[in-house]
Amino acid sequence: MLAIYVHQHGETTCADQVNPAWLAPESDVTLWVDLAAPTPEEGRLLADVFHFHPLAVEDALSEIHHPKIESYEGYLYLILHGMDFQEEEHWFATHDVDFFLGRNYLVKVHDGHSRSIVKVTAICDEHDRVLAEGPVALLHRIVDSMVDSYRPEIEELEEHMNVLEDQAILGRRADLVRDILGLKRDLASLRRVVIPQRDAVGRLARREFPMIGDEMAYRFRDVYDQFVRLSDEATLFQDRVTGILEAHLSTISNRLNQVVKVLTVMSTIFLPLTVLTGMWGMNIRLPAFPGGEAMQFWWVAGCMASIAAVMLALFRRNGWI
């Protein structure tokens, strides 16, 4: 889907197509072109009208690329990512958002699933001043909105982590390793996305590019600080998940030790009892207990019970059970 917003003479209007005159050096038009899941015909707009570099166009129309920023003659090419975490399906995904920033235009290419872009588009429909601030301010507004949308996703990840931590400590689930490793994979994906974005936005904040003025550099510095906090949280979350996995494995090991201890106690108790039953079960004459032949079984059973009781008392006294 193609959306074109044109700001001229203090008003923002929508257009059906891009007029090449708007891109002339003397033009006073501010242009925002939004390509949401573009068709091949809409994608040709990038090369035929804006004359972007073929490699940048190829990257923009492909599905997944790592965040980065590149400077071309007359414009900047920026790749950032939106984030989506579905806790019920335990599914973590990122969405590419590609920006072409020129002197008086901003071209954005995405898959149509970005909530922050929808929010900024709604603001543009209501307020003319959004585009009046210029394409750099519009880029900052979109990027800042994208970073703000990370916060609820991070909170969902943290809540999911808290649930896994409680389950690991209680030891009620033996199949918890799959969920823990899945969360660890999600956090690795989060770091892989956040850290390059932090570096890309940091270059905007350091005023490496002439079209980024001092005022906008200060604004991007605030966004950069948010990315720094996100990357730090992602690192802390990974360490925490590692601790959860270790706690879960420790719980399983302790449970196994308890089972082994019980089995060992039972085997130790039955060892002398087996000796008694083996001796008195031999087909030879043995010393008899008092009371005649009918009482021999009860004497042997009483000895076995006494031995078991004494051994249990010794085990409990030594703290083994």
pLDDT tens digit string along 106-129? 888 887 666 555 555 665 555 567
Q: What are the tokens at 248?
A: 């879960």
Whole-number pLDDT of residue 117: 57
Q: How far is CA 270 from CA 259, 273, 282, 290, in A?
A: 17, 5, 18, 25
Q: Which of 42-56, 68-82, 307-321 has the lowest mean pLDDT?
A: 307-321
Mean pLDDT across 137-154: 83
Question: Band of the pLDDT at 88, cuts 50, 70, 90?
Answer: low
pLDDT tens digit string along 231-247? 888 888 888 888 888 88
Give the span between the Cα atoms of 158 and 148, in whole angstroms.
16
- Local structure of residue 123 (DSSP, 8 states): H
Whole-number pLDDT of residue 261: 79
The secondary structure of 162-231 as a DSSP string is HHHHHHHHHT--TTHHHHHHHHHHHHHHHHHHHHHHHHHHHHHHTT-STTS-HHHHHHHHHHHHHHHHHH
pLDDT tens digit string along 155-173? 888 888 888 888 887 776 7
Whole-number pLDDT of residue 153: 77
Whole-number pLDDT of residue 122: 61
Question: Band of the pLDDT at 97, cuts 50, 70, 90?
Answer: confident
Whole-number pLDDT of residue 284: 63
Position 87 pLDDT exceeds 60: no
pLDDT tens digit string along 177-201? 888 888 888 888 778 878 888 888 8
Position 11 pLDDT exceeds 60: yes
Give the span between the Cα atoms of 127 and 120, in whole angstroms.
10
Whole-number pLDDT of residue 113: 65
Q: Residue 45: which H helix or E strand, with range?
A: helix 40-48
Give the span between the Cα atoms of 61 and 199, in whole angstroms.
23
Would you say 46 and 13 are in contact if contact means Cβ atoms under 8 Å apart? no
Per the prediction, the chain carries an average pLDDT of 79
Question: Band of the pLDDT at 92, cuts 50, 70, 90?
Answer: low
pLDDT tens digit string along 275-318? 777 776 766 666 777 777 777 777 778 888 888 888 888 877 77
Whole-number pLDDT of residue 127: 52
Give the span between the Cα atoms of 75 and 100, in whole angstroms.
7
Whole-number pLDDT of residue 274: 78
Instruction: Read off the amino acid at residue 139.
Output: L
Q: What are the tokens at 321?
A: 């059970």
Give the span between the Cα atoms of 52 and 72, in whole angstroms.
9
Mean pLDDT across 130-141: 83
Closest CA to 320 of 264, 250, 254: 264
